[in-house]
Structure 1
């Protein structure tokens, strides 16, 4: 343990160097990023109300895992993005995920049409909670349900 503490301890010159680091904000981007084009292309928003979003998504080949199912990471990404969309405000700093819990209940296959519903559960101070349900449009079978807590510097009411 002493050796670990010794290795991890910052020397005074290292501490000064860290305190002088300047991180500039990202430049605004024109058009979609690779991430947006790859992971989010195909989401169709049908209804937006305060504290509620409803959209659909057809499972594309690019998000299928080797077993032929919608990849777990793609499901987590959909929950993250659609949940975050409830509290994101254009021109404001991006929200930060504090906690996300996902129950994977079933599988979605290539070309399955999914319904994604996101609801605002509440807001206390700078922390908001959302619930996102992903289900098959044809059968109503729930694929996944996620709860998402986000921190935002935005102080106004939602």
Structure 2
């Protein structure tokens, strides 16, 4: 039976991911505009869940979640899943992104975003993401499904290849 208390390793991972969230938002104008209200719900190795309440800056001319905002959410949160994998500071640069828009959401609705780092290698990371709308009863309706590939050197791998003094 699992304890309801967070383990020290889990607490360290969650704190690390929250630091990455804070740094990315403070260093990127687009993340500041679109994702400054995102909330970290949970973080485990390679899996991060966040929530975002949709505001006017998140929607298109029809008042529903803008596709470019979905892409920004994917870029941001899959990077968090990669960072949670091995507690790296950097999240990599996008190489490839596939997005399926399955439903929509509007201002005031809450999105739950589950990002999974499926494979994190020495320089390439592969992730998947589910962006769902949260109903009042807690049920989830899938809004966006995505796959994201990022390039970014694993700092531990890079330092192990450095010339020895």
TM-score computed with the length of structure 1 as normaliser: 0.73
Match in the other structure for 1:39: 34
Q: Is the 8 A contact 2:63 2:107 kept in 1?
A: yes
Partner secondary structure for residue 106 of structure 1: coil
The superposition leaves residues 123-149 of structure 1 with CA deviations (integer Å, 9 ceiling, x where unpaired) of: 344111011100011141100011001
Q: Greater shift after overlay, 31-40 or 98-107?
A: 31-40
| 3-state SS in 2 of match to 1:141 | strand
Q: Which runs of 5+ in 1 are unaligned?
A: 1-27
Report what 1:100 is aligned to: 97
Equivalent in the alignment of 2:148 = 148
Write out the 4+ residue segments of structure 1 that deviate beyond 4 Å after TM superposition: none
SS of the equivalent of 2:108 reads coil
- Residue by residue over 1:63-94, the C-alpha shift from the partner in whole angstroms, topping out at 9 and shown as x without a partner, is 1110110110001100111001122422x5x5
In the alignment, structure 1 residue 121 sits paired with structure 2 residue 118: yes
- CA shift, 1:47, in A, is 0.5
| Larger CA Rg, structure 1 vs 2 | 1
TM-score, L = length of structure 2: 0.70
Ranges in structure 2 where 5+ consecutive residues have no aligned partner: 1-22, 158-165
- Tell me if the contact between 1:120 and 1:130 (Cα under 8 Å) persists in the aligned partners: yes
Corresponding residue number in structure 2 for 1:74: 69
Q: Which has the higher helix share?
A: 2
Q: 1:33 to 1:102 in 2, by over 3 A?
A: closer
SS in 1 for 2:33: helix
Do 1:126 and 1:155's aligned partners in 2 also have CA atoms closer than 8 Å?
Answer: no
User: Aligned in 2, Cα 1:147/1:76: closer, same or farther, shift over 3 Å?
Assistant: same
2:140 match: secondary structure: coil
Q: CA RMSD in A?
A: 2.1
